[in-house]
Amino acid sequence: MSSRPWFWRVVIPSSRPAYTWLRTISANKQLNVNGRLDYSENSADPQVLLEEANRLYWLNNGPKAAPLYAKAEKLFADRGDARNELYAKIGHLRSEAETMSFVDLSRFLNDQLQNPIMRNDPRLHLWCLAAKGYAFVDKSILVVTEGLGPRRFHGRVVLMVNEHTASAGEMVSAFAEESKLATIVGTKTPGRLLSGGAFKVGHGYILGLPAAAYLTWHGRVLENDGINPATPTELSREALRDGRDTQLETAIEAVKAL
């Protein structure tokens, strides 16, 4: 085997095919409504707005969907269409659920489930139940890899980290470290992984609270702890003035030694 160092690029696959598939399905549904997709957000047709809002919501873009639901709700109300007005209102609330009290949302949806319009419309009833379930759903997720087995580059990778390597960067670094897939070079990471939620508390105020924590497969909590590199290296300002990056130099030496 050659003694020359290996250099690899890490590629994180995206879900582009899934996104394209969902977008195509939603687009086809909308084409059945108005025959075109252009400028649907500016439409005065509440059905078109509703289709676009649903498409955005299912693509996990609640902030973009919420104003379309709200506009559709008002247009349906102006037309006296109580059924679709209620459908749009629930969609609007569901799109903004992360910024409001789940207790208030659940209470409102409970009341709507007793609405005669809701009780006589199975589809609308299911839409309301799904929204109610969202207020109490367990949002825990499990991060896994494809399990492709050993690869030649395993253990022949160097990851550079510092005090700015937070969130997903710490997740990747911790996984590589615990699985002995890479050597970590640099300075300690900040340990900043908590995800949060925002809740309206009235009078124009929003309360931000931590909503989820991250644990590695070994049960390690990185919050406020971070990752200590196997090869700690400070970034020298003096060296930077001379055009040298001491952390990068250390990383290159680590690669050559693998």
Contact of 90 with 112, CB cutoff 8 Å: yes
| CATH H superfamily, domain 157-257 | 2-enoyl-CoA Hydratase; Chain A, domain 1 (3.90.226.10)
Q: How confident is the model at residue 79 (pLDDT cuts 50, 70, 90)?
A: very high
**What's the rounded Cα separation, in Å, for the pair 245 and 183?**
18
Longest dimension (CA), the chain: 77
Domain locations in the chain? 16-134, 157-257
Q: Is the pLDDT of residue 123 over 50?
A: yes
pTM: 0.46
Q: What share of the chain in percent tops pLDDT 90?
A: 38
Q: How far is CA 254 from the centre of its chain?
A: 34
Higher-scoring residue by pLDDT: 209, 113: 113
Taking CA 235 as the corner, what is the angle to CA 161 and CA 174, rounded to the nearest 5 degrees?
15
**What's the rounded Cα separation, in Å, for the pair 161 and 80?**
59
pLDDT at 247: 93
